Amino acid sequence: MTPEPAAGPAGAPAVEVRGLHVSLDRAPILTGVDLTVAAGEWVTVIGPNGAGKSTLLRAVGGLLPAPGAISLFGTPSAELRRRDRARVVATVAQSPVVPPGMSVLDYVLLGRTPYIPPLGRESAADVAAVHDVLDRLDLTGFHRRELATLSGGERQRVFLARALAQGATLLLLDEPTSALDIGHQQEVLELVDQLRREHGLTVLATMHDLSLAGEYADRMVLLADGRVVAVGSPQEVLTEHLLATHYRASVRVVPGTHGPLVVPVRRR
Amino acid sequence: MTGTPLVATPAPPTRPAATPPASRPAGLRRRWLVAGVFAVLLALIAGVSLGPISLPPGSVAAELLNLIPGVHLESGLTEREIAIVTELRLPRVVLGLLVGGLLALAGGCYQGVFRNPLADPYLLGVAAGAGLAVTAVIALGGVGRQGAITGLPMTIPLAAFAGSLFAVTMTYLLGGAGGRSRSPAMLILAGVAVSAFLSAGQTYLLQRHSDSIQPVYSWLLGRLATAGWHDVLLVLPYAALTTVVVLLHRRELDVLAVGDDEAKSLGLHPQRSRYLLIAAASLGTAAAVSATGLIGFVGIIVPHTVRLLAGASYRVILPLSMLFGAAFLALTDVVARTAAAPAEIPIGVVTALLGGPFFVLVLRTARRVLT
């Protein structure tokens, strides 16, 4: 694709990955991955352990060097300064570090870092923006609580709040529900979906729960051994054949209201 | 369309009324700042008043105020007592304040940079590196061979800085501080190993240059006793540089607490900041060590106490550690020279007596972090 100047042209995809190769310690992790995520879309990457899902997300988030392979809203990612990229992409890691003694307010305020001058301090507007996000995520009563004392579901909302405080339009979620019970999994995904629709956010996520993944994603990408083996709607990707081939799983796929439901069945 | 950011650039203050005061972000509260300044003043007056000849604190305070240009108070002290205040005790107390502040600041900074509650100039081997370098300068350069070291040669702080940087680099490489998978305990073990290695080098040097044993030994145990204004002036520029660099990065240290990946995705350059802060903290340690010898545990006692009392943010810990570290060391010095009067207990012995048990305490509370 043609590189475009900073702001990004209207209509440029939120994420455009072309021929991404990533090796860690000379072991190839991703080999020639292509991926396009339209603005406002929710794309979920699935795949067996070690397929390279997290690595793909890290590359898109700018945590791994991937010169020339990735564009964000029409701008080559490598041309973005780290601080500017942080205003465009926000990442929620799989298990973010919870610093001892840090309050919810201070944690969410970290999200304002790309707006705070280097070596400077936050402005009243930054604090107001944080309270705004806390309000939206029903975390107002929590702001003085120590992050480490919250339950898993509450923490996940706080991690999300920190990402939203970044004011980025692209949200990268690495296993956003892995630490949660089934009720909180739904709660968090509904919340992300609601925010996406209200604020036009783009979501690129990785997930292990295939049924849940299919219910929320517009499109899915199946990654296996560092390459994309299937892309399409949940109905197209969540098939018994593909899952048997790439997960070596014995599953039954049944149609559901919001997407196919994947049920593991005993082999024998 | 590319979507509307949830919170774009600074949002307009649409919140009704004012946010309650409790919803302010972490920061230095005024009462803690006042307490810190008060502690420093208390240590200053106590340090100057107490000694073989005890002077009334009120008169001492008046005499100290007289040092401010344009102030003339009647303190009621004799010429000789005034000389004791300004020429003997004041430089000693000021140097104690400076060194205490530096060691505590460096400790707090290392703890943030390495995300390790046990990091401290001593446990990381930084002080040992500075110690070996200074020993080498004294032993090989023949500095101070004619008796006690009087006044600090310019080469000593620079050598100490080189030694401390070497030591912290070794510890960092051996202990792997940045790596996610390696445990914080590894770093401390690496520091212990580096310390042992450097101390062995120091012992060897002393064996080979036995005429240096006396001056090196008296310096090692803490030379606050012989401090003059010359020492204060020599330490001051390093202290100022360290303080400015570390305090400017106090917010970044809070971001580093969530990990390098997160710091990067928030737009920072964690590795760059880390190198700069390690250099700054090592410079501060080197200045402290070259002025007063090896005084251990200040860098771990003070920041931890501050963290427990005033909050876990480095924006609170760093400035308060400086103030309370300064007061702590100056007051410890008072104990060191009055507890067994007329003899003086080496100040490093006093801080180690306090620091040993404290370290065990920290170790117990930090066990969760370390495993």
The answer to whether residue A37 neighbours chain B at the CB level (below 8 Å) is: no
Q: What is the predicted pLDDT for the residue at B77?
A: 84
Of residues B237 and B145, more confidence is placed in B237
Cβ–Cβ below 8 Å for B7 and A131: no
B207-238 pLDDT tens trace? 888 777 777 777 776 667 777 888 888 889 99
Cβ–Cβ below 8 Å for B262 and A126: no
Q: What is the predicted pLDDT for the residue at B23?
A: 66
Distance from CA of B14 to the nearest CA of A (A): 8
- Residue B84 carries which side chain, given as an amino acid letter? I
B325-358 pLDDT tens trace? 999 999 999 998 888 877 788 888 888 888 888 8
CB pairs under 8 A between A and B: 153
- pLDDT exceeds 80 at position B305: yes
- Chain B residue with minimum CA distance to A145: B23
Cβ–Cβ below 8 Å for A110 and B262: yes
- pLDDT exceeds 70 at position B371: no
pLDDT tens digits in sequence order for chain A, 268 residues long: 333 334 445 678 999 999 999 998 888 999 999 999 999 999 999 999 989 999 999 999 999 988 779 999 999 999 999 999 999 999 999 889 888 888 999 999 999 999 998 778 888 999 999 998 998 888 888 888 999 899 888 899 999 999 999 999 999 999 998 878 898 899 889 999 998 998 889 999 999 999 999 999 999 999 999 999 999 999 999 999 999 999 998 999 999 888 899 999 988 7
Cβ–Cβ below 8 Å for B2 and A39: yes
CB proximity under 8 Å: B 177-216 to A:
none
Residues 6+ apart with CB under 8 A from B228: B87, B91, B150, B151
Question: Tokens in use for B225?
Answer: 């006793």
Q: Which of A193-202, B63-72, B240-249 comes out lowest in average pLDDT?
A: B63-72
**B25: chain A residues, CB-CB within 8 Å:** 105-106, 109, 122, 127, 130
- Chain B residue with minimum CA distance to A89: B265
Task: Report, in this order, helix, strand and coil percent for chain B, each rounded to 5.
Answer: 70, 0, 30
The answer to whether residue B367 neighbours chain A at the CB level (below 8 Å) is: no
Cβ–Cβ below 8 Å for A166 and B269: no
Q: What percent of chain B has pLDDT over 70?
A: 85
**B269: chain A residues, CB-CB within 8 Å:** 82
- pLDDT exceeds 70 at position B48: yes
Quick one: pLDDT band at residue B367, thresholds 50, 70, 90?
A: low
Give domain limits for chain A.
15-88+168-264, 98-167
Q: What is the predicted pLDDT for the residue at A6?
A: 40
Give the predicted TM-score (pTM) of the model: 0.85
CATH of A15-88+168-264, one of 3.40.50.720, 3.40.50.1000, 3.40.50.300, 3.30.1600.10: 3.40.50.300
The answer to whether residue A141 neighbours chain B at the CB level (below 8 Å) is: no
Walk me through the domains of chain B, giving residue ranges and CATH numbers. Answer: 90-370 (1.10.3470.10)
Q: What is the predicted pLDDT for the residue at B368?
A: 58
A115-174 pLDDT tens trace? 998 778 888 999 999 998 998 888 888 888 999 899 888 899 999 999 999 999 999 999
**B2: chain A residues, CB-CB within 8 Å:** 8, 10, 12, 14, 39, 73, 169, 200
Distance CA B65, CA B54 (A): 19
Residues 6+ apart with CB under 8 A from B123: B188, B191, B192, B195, B300
Categorise residue B222: left if φ over 0, alpha if ψ from -120 to 50, beta otherwise.
left
**Residue from B1, B4, B6 to probe the interface with A (highest A Cβ count within 10 Å):** B6
